[in-house]
Structure 1
Amino acid sequence: MYPVINKNLKKTITAGIILFSAVSIFAQTENRNWNGKKCAVVLTYDDALNIHLDKVIPMLDSYQLKGTFYLIGSSPVVSQRISEWRTAAKKGHELGNHTLNHPCDGSLSGRDFVTSETDLSKYTVVRAVNEIRITNTLLKAIDGKDERTFAYPCGDLTIRDTLYYNFIKNDFLAARGVSSGYSALKKVDFSNVNSFFQNGSTAEQMIAQVEEAEKKGSFIVFLFHGVGGEHALNIDLEEHRKLLEYLKKRKKDIWTAPMVDVAKFIRENKNK
């Protein structure tokens, strides 16, 4: 004979099943703090390279993904291909500010590539601010937009001992740095957003970084230069494609968006 289960016990079991189901549903939907997704990914590309227009943007478009392209205002790839950058912006890609002349601190070791004209250590803060604002004017003439983000050339934050971004922080939603790390939504430093520098990286390595961001309920900013060539800092075009394919397949859980959109989202949700 089977034991008889009384009505109260049945009610207890039923309530337990309902509670377990509710917890399971909650577990599946919790930690979706990034525009309804588990994490956010930002794809950034520095220095206004031909390869960005010729290969990267068409590849992003094919996967329906958007990136941020940090343009150097004086670059011939900007002046000679304005209509193509304008088209990219119309498709949803961000044109970010990477200064007018890409000045880097030539007083640091390993900076033999820095010329006297582009030596940030010889700049005044006023000159740096003026050149950055000139670049903003140029970018607005291309895309018609007022909101955008900034990226420090070479990751250099200061002119001697002065944090020059403090003088232009109201001109941007955020500034991307070069130090890696996963920040909680409420602890993002808009004056120096973490990023993961890529050089010779495989898709497997980059995907692992995305998965770590997802695990931490955070976001990740990728920092690319060359993609398939044109720069000493480079990743293989096929490895880049594999990363995009992964992001496309994981779109239900991963929000891939330009830096300006992610920065705006963080600002709007940071204090909630």
Structure 2
Amino acid sequence: MNTKIHCIILFLFFGYSVHAQDTLWHHKKCAVVLTYDDALDVDIDNAAPALDSLGLKATFYLSNYTGTLDTRTAQWRAIAAKGHELGNHTYYHPCIGKRPGREFVKADNDLNNYTVQQIDQEIHMMNSLLKAIDGKHSRTFAYPCGDTKISDSFYLDPIKKEFTGARGVRPEMLRIQDVKLYDIGCYGINGESGDQLVSLVQKAMDSHTLVVFLFHGVGGGHSLNVSLQAHSQLLHFLKQHEKEIWIAPMTEVAEYIQRYQSSSK
């Protein structure tokens, strides 16, 4: 083959591949999902206002063991009305107890003491409560503590069609074709600097992948915490690069991934 023609073919092939990867995420280089767990007061007081000031949308995974669904229902309804997702994190936040760092797990909320039917009923109950708050049908789930099983059974399996996807806690960045919709990985944040948070996004941009952030405390409110300054630096970076980065709630991203993966089969 003529060398010049061979080079043109290689350029067209690899150039197309790079361009295709650049546009897979809603015609942008990568996708970023910001998630906030446990329905904390700081979600309402710190995180949501910071997001709204920049027009960014996120997912708040709500449980009621903190009590804010009872005491601050109107604020959660307002957060949903501004385009944020209220995700299901169960009502009582059950986790597997008797593990290091799990001293907070009481016997009544120990997943070892649940049946699959019990946890699924609790998840149903939480869906009903969330719908009463935001009026929406589409939402995602987040496994409390990242625990996905009761004994050897994946407890979400019987009802997973009620959700567009589910977030786990495994740190990973995957291309759109490789994302596991009912165990979406994420990066749990605890004490990282703004530069470290931004570097995760830059890595996703370079690799054309999905990066999910898991926040608990934002400027306090939880033992797992990120400073207001670091959180703000991340949000401002996302805003400055939103032409290259798709930032959306988890349910929108999960629906997009599902459509892409279905069309690629």
Return the TM-score normalized by structure 1: 0.89
- The question of whether the paired residues in 2 share the 8 Å contact of 1:147 and 1:172 is answered with yes
Does 2:155 align with 1:150? no
How far apart in 1 are the matches of 2:101 and 2:240? 40
Does 2:253 align with 1:262? yes
How far apart in 2 are the matches of 1:130 and 1:104? 16
SS of residue paired to 2:36: strand
Aligned with residue 166 of structure 1, among 157, 162, 181: 157
The structural deviation recorded for 1:212 is 1.0
SS of residue paired to 1:84: helix
How far apart in 2 are the matches of 1:167 and 1:92? 29
How far apart in 2 are the matches of 1:185 and 1:127? 33
- The question of whether the paired residues in 2 share the 8 Å contact of 1:149 and 1:173 is answered with yes
Moved over 4 A (4+): 21-29
- The question of whether the paired residues in 2 share the 8 Å contact of 1:102 and 1:118 is answered with yes
Return the TM-score normalized by structure 2: 0.91
Structure 1 residue identity aligned to 2:200: Q
> Within 5 Å, which residues of 2 pair with 1:91-170?
91-170=82-161
SS of residue paired to 2:183: coil
Alpha-carbon RMSD across the aligned residues, in angstroms, is 2.2
SS of residue paired to 1:87: helix
Which of the pair has more CA radius of gyration? 1
Instruction: State the aligned residue count.
Output: 257
SS of residue paired to 2:96: coil
How far apart in 2 are the matches of 1:173 and 1:113? 30
What residue number does 2:216 align with? 225
SS of residue paired to 1:69: strand
How far apart in 1 are the matches of 2:18 and 2:120? 47
The worse-fitting range, judged by mean Cα deviation, of 178-187 and 250-259 is 178-187
What residue number does 1:86 align with? 77
Deviations 1:6-35 (A, max 9, x none): xxxxxxx9xxxx99x989996884421101
Question: 5+ residue gaps in structure 2?
Answer: none
Aligned with residue 47 of structure 1, among 38, 43, 54: 38
The structural deviation recorded for 1:165 is 1.1
SS of residue paired to 1:182: coil
- The question of whether the paired residues in 2 share the 8 Å contact of 1:107 and 1:121 is answered with no
Question: 5+ residue gaps in structure 1?
Answer: 1-12
Q: Would the alpha carbon gap of residues 81 and 52 (structure 1) be closer, same or farther in structure 2, given more than 3 Å must change? A: same
